[in-house]
Each structure stands twice: as structure tokens, then as C-alpha cells.
Chains A and B, each alone.
With several copies, the nearest count.
Chain A
Amino acid sequence: MDVIEKIRRLVALMAENGLAELEVEEPELRIRLKTSISAAQQPEGGLQAQVLEEVAAEPTEGREEKPPAKAEDNLLEITSPMVGTFYRSPSDGAEPYVTTGTIVEPDTVVCIIEAMKVMNEMKAGLSGEIVEILLQNAEAVEFGQVLFLARPLEQ
């Protein structure tokens, strides 16, 4: 893999996972990446890359990447257990199952994933407050893809 491409992926990975610093050491290459301002302060991007022994990486702008997740610590992920199409509401025009701020319990239905014409209701599987919905309605999802971020409830 091209170094630039590798950096692109690392930057994307940082953005996806809200990382502030990342260091990789390989036999012939050491890469260190660091966001310029803490991601929490500037949540919508602003990633900058510093690379040792190589040129600077391009920022991820203009790429079809998920928006960088909020770099809040301790957020929980609700992931997709299947492949299919993501729907936020039971039918066209109906209210979405959850919005940001909704408090969910493990049995709360959070979305539908359609696969092979079957509508599968997805449950939260955890207790928390939905803080981010990572997909648009009717978007495709893969196995294991993060659908929602939730903040655990303080007990």
C-alpha cells in the first residue's frame, strides 16, 4: 500500500473512532498522527496529520466517509448484526424509533434492517441515551457497522 493511501486510511480510522493520536511503527516506516485541536473541541473535522519521514497526509475532506464521531469518551456503540438496509422508522412518513436524546433500554427497538424483503426490528441491547445516529435513512449497512452511539446512563 502506498504511504499516502495508508495515511488516508489511518486518518479516516482516527476520524471514525474519534482518536486524538495514533502511532504506527513498521519495519521501514513510522507514522505518527495527531489532531491539531482536541477532537472534542472541534467535532466536525479539523484533523491534521503529522508524519515522520514522509510527506504530510491530505485531510479526509471530500471523501465519502462517515462524519468523524464525537470524541467523547465512554460512548457505547450499537452495531448491526446483519447486512441490509437501515430504516429509522417502521414505515414511510412514520416517526423514527429513536432520535438523539432518546433514552433506550436493551429491549427498545431502535431501527429496522431490511434483508431479503424481511423487515428485522433491531433492539438497542444496552441502556443509554442516543447521542448520534451514524446513518441516513435507507442507507446500506454491513455486518458489525456502528449504527448509533449512546451515552451510558449515570446510575
Chain B
Amino acid sequence: MFSRVLIANRGEVALRVLRACADLGVESVVVYSTADAGAKYLEFADDSVCIGPPPAAESYLNVARIIAAAEITNVDAIHPGYGFLAESTEFVEICEDSNIVFIGPRSDVMRKMGNKVEARHIAKDRKIPVLPGSEGAIESDDEAVKLAQEIGYPIIIKAAAGGGGRGMRIAHNEISLRNMLALARSEAEKAFKDDSVYIEKMLDKARHVEVQILADNRGSVIHLGERDCSIQRRYQKLIEETPAPGVSDDTRSAISKAAVQLARAVGYTGAGTVEFLVNGDGRYYFMEMNTRLQVEHPITEVVSGVDIVKEQIKVAAGEKLPYHQKKLAFRGVAIECRVNAENPADGFRSSPGRITEFIPPGGPGVRVDTHVYSGYEVPPFYDSMVAKLIAYGPNRTEALNTMRRALQEFTISGVKTTIPFYRDLIEHRGYASGNFDIRFVDEFLGSV
């Protein structure tokens, strides 16, 4: 096992990894920008290093400063959390060159799966269904138009190097396709320094269902079941749930198998997630793989009893996965609401500032992952998530009751949050029934 791990992230996920290190008896070092100086979670680390000013480019995204922090604190390994450098192949390579273990997949595996076009090829080769679309990056607009005619509109344009909705555009006809291709290329170039895009048929009545994977360095690959992440607004997940409601056991088992197969095919190690779109009729299509820890991992932890971050660290240190697929027992239903410092009444505009009162819910079936507290100042520079609220129940109805109760108890004053929005959303029949798709939030917001 490592003796010291550097956590190259901030806020909630930095604390999440800190806790895993503490639980494993591993020392931890956290980096921070001056905007995060004084945050309470820094006190829980064995050491902390100020790496730069608030802008992420000069701190949490600055590879040189993070590697320098790792060097001066003599760590064995770096945990990237999610976001920032978690999917930067360049960063992983530098870690590898510096003889620091990157807690995640190898750089070559990340490069393969990080390129959406290549990942699509790998999936296709393994007979895992992909959406009808271009074989690779689109060479010319005419090629795209011709293909779109074959597979039918609407068409979704995605950045090959993309993720998080950036460089993503939807076209409903030829004219919009030509316009959107140009826009998507320039967005992709700006975001990823790579303007290649590809197109796929757009399924808009589908669910977003993803499978959690864990793999060690010795050939063992397991899945920890799936999560429904259809409750999204502008490609940002808001509520996640496991097991996915309205997905048949056949589909569940097929996508789990496909995810394991894909991870095995590329020699994946660590924690990863394979995303699928699932149709109303149970047909599924591979979308992409996220080669990192996901925000929503706690719901899987709650039902599986497996601590994903601990296992991620353990396998990175060369340990064998202590779980066998067939012996895993999943228990009940878990739901997560991402509580953001945003004002739902004002277009979800972010609402940074001082939290004057923070009373988290508790008791049975409730887990709260948060780095904030009464008196914490939400900085305006980063992600607006202030807490993850996870509710558990033996079945979906009781899990929802627990979520309702916890949302009711949760008190945050000083900044606006999405708590009132969730209180309303979970009462909506379309949500409560479990019969929703990726367009639910748009429809819900339209109907409010």
C-alpha cells in the first residue's frame, strides 16, 4: 500500500479521497488554491500545499505545480478526483514519467477510451451495439449530410475528444447540420484543442444508464451494477439512482456484461464507468466510457457495500480485488441529489457566497458527502456543488420517502441552493413513477 497520496483536487471530492485514505491508514496531502485556503477539509489532511491563485489554470489544472507539490511532499501516488486533470492523458504520462502512481488507468488505456471515436470502434469490434453514425471523425460536411440522410434526423454531433456536453450539438435538418458542424468544430477546438467531431443518431426518449466497473492489475474485472442518470439538465446530471428503474433484468445483465467485456478488451484498471443509452424497448447503445471516479459513485457504494475509492486506491497500489462478481450482494435502492449553490428560480444561476447556516440531514438511510459547514464561503471560481445527498431504502418507495424526509430536514442559508427544486421534482408523478427519460427535467421545468 502507498504510504502517502497526493490529492490533486478540491472541495467535496478532495474530502472524499481524504476519507478513503484515512480509512486505509494512508497519509494524505491535499493541494489547494488561495481561494480554498482556510477550508476545513484541509485540516483533515496530513499535509497541504498551496499551489496557486484561484484560476484553475494556475492551480488545479496546472500540471507542473501539482507535480512539484507531489515532489516536495514525497508522495507515492496522486488521486485526481473527478474533473480537473482526472481525464488528462498528458497528466497521466507525466505521472508515469515521474515515477508517481496515477490512481486511475494507464495513459495508453485512457487515450484509447478518451477518444470517443476510437472507443466507439472498440465497442463495435466487440459486438456491443453503438448508435448508427459515422465510422470515425467526419471528414467533410457532405459526408455528414449523406450519412444523416441514411440514418435519419435528429442527428447529434459530438467532439471526438469530448465530454461533459462541450462540443455537442443537435441538428434537425441538413441546413442546421451544416451550421452546427462548424459550431461544434470550433467549440471542440477551443475546449479540447482537437476539432474532430463525429455524428450519431439522436435518441431523445432514452434513459442514460451507466455501469460501474472495478478492475485490478491482475486481470480481475467486476461490475457493481448500473445507475440511472437520466435526470439531467443541459447534460449535467442532477439525480442518480441505482438500480435503474424501468430497466429489465435482461437489459441490466446485458449492459453489465458488455461493460465488463469492454473494460477487459482495453486492459482497463481502476474504477471506470461505461455509459449507455437505453431505449423504451430495452435496446441499448454504448455511448462512452468515463475513465475515472464518477460524482455519483456513492449510490453504488450504498447498495453494494463496496467502497469504490478505497478499492481504487488499493488496486492502484497493486492489490488484488477482494470481490468476486457472483458473491456480491446488492441491497435495496439508493438515490443521490447533487445539491448545488445555484438559484433554480433564476435559471440555475450560480450563487456563491457565505453559508450562514448549514444543517445536514442524518439518521437511517442517509449519507451526506460535503465539504461545507456553517460559515463556509462558496468560492465563485469552481463547480457549484456543495453537497451530495444520498438516500437509501429497501425499495424505491421507501428510498424516495427517505430522500423526501432528508430534503425537508436539509437547511442551507446564505446562498441559494437546488434543494427546493429537488423537493418539487421528486413529487412529480413522472419522476415518482420511475417512468422517465433524459428529457424529463426539460419537460418538468417547462411545466412548472
Contact = CB atoms under 8 A, between A and B. Distances in A.
A binds B: yes
Interface of A: 1-3, 27-29, 82-85, 115-116, 140-145
A83 B49 contact: yes
A142 B50 contact: yes
16 contacts: A3-B413, A27-B356, A28-B354, A28-B413, A82-B64, A82-B65, A83-B51, A83-B65, A85-B72, A115-B65, A115-B67, A115-B71, A142-B69, A143-B49, A143-B52, A144-B34
Nearest to A139: B72
Which range holds the interface residue count of chain B? 20 to 34
A84 B52 CA distance: 12
A29 B50 CA distance: 29
Looking at chain B's contact residues, the main secondary structure is mixed
A28 B34 CA distance: 24
Given A27-B356, A115-B64, A85 B413 contact: no
- 9 shortest A-B CB distances, which residue pairs? A140-B72, A115-B68, A28-B356, A142-B50, A83-B68, A143-B50, A84-B68, A143-B52, A83-B69
Contact of B411 (A1, A29, A85, A140): A1
A83 B357 CA distance: 34
Given A3-B413, A29-B356, A83-B69, A116 B51 contact: no
B435 to A, nearest CB: 32
B6 to A, nearest CB: 11
B73 interface: yes
Interface in B32-53: 34, 40, 43, 49-53
A142 B71 contact: no
B195 to A, nearest CB: 30
A71 to B, nearest CB: 23
A1 B376 CA distance: 13
Interface string B86-103: 000000001000100000
Give the one of B34, B49, B98 with max A CB within 10 A: B49
B354 A116 contact: no
Contacts of A144: 34, 50
A18 to B, nearest CB: 20
Give the one of A82, A115, A116, A144 with max B CB within 10 A: A116
A85 B51 contact: no
A80 B116 CA distance: 40
B171 to A, nearest CB: 43
Give the one of A3, A28, A143 with max B CB within 10 A: A143
A13 B414 CA distance: 24
Given A3-B413, A84-B71, 6 more contacts: A28-B356, A82-B52, A82-B68, A115-B68, A116-B71, A143-B51
B64 A116 contact: yes
Interface in B385-417: 411, 413-414
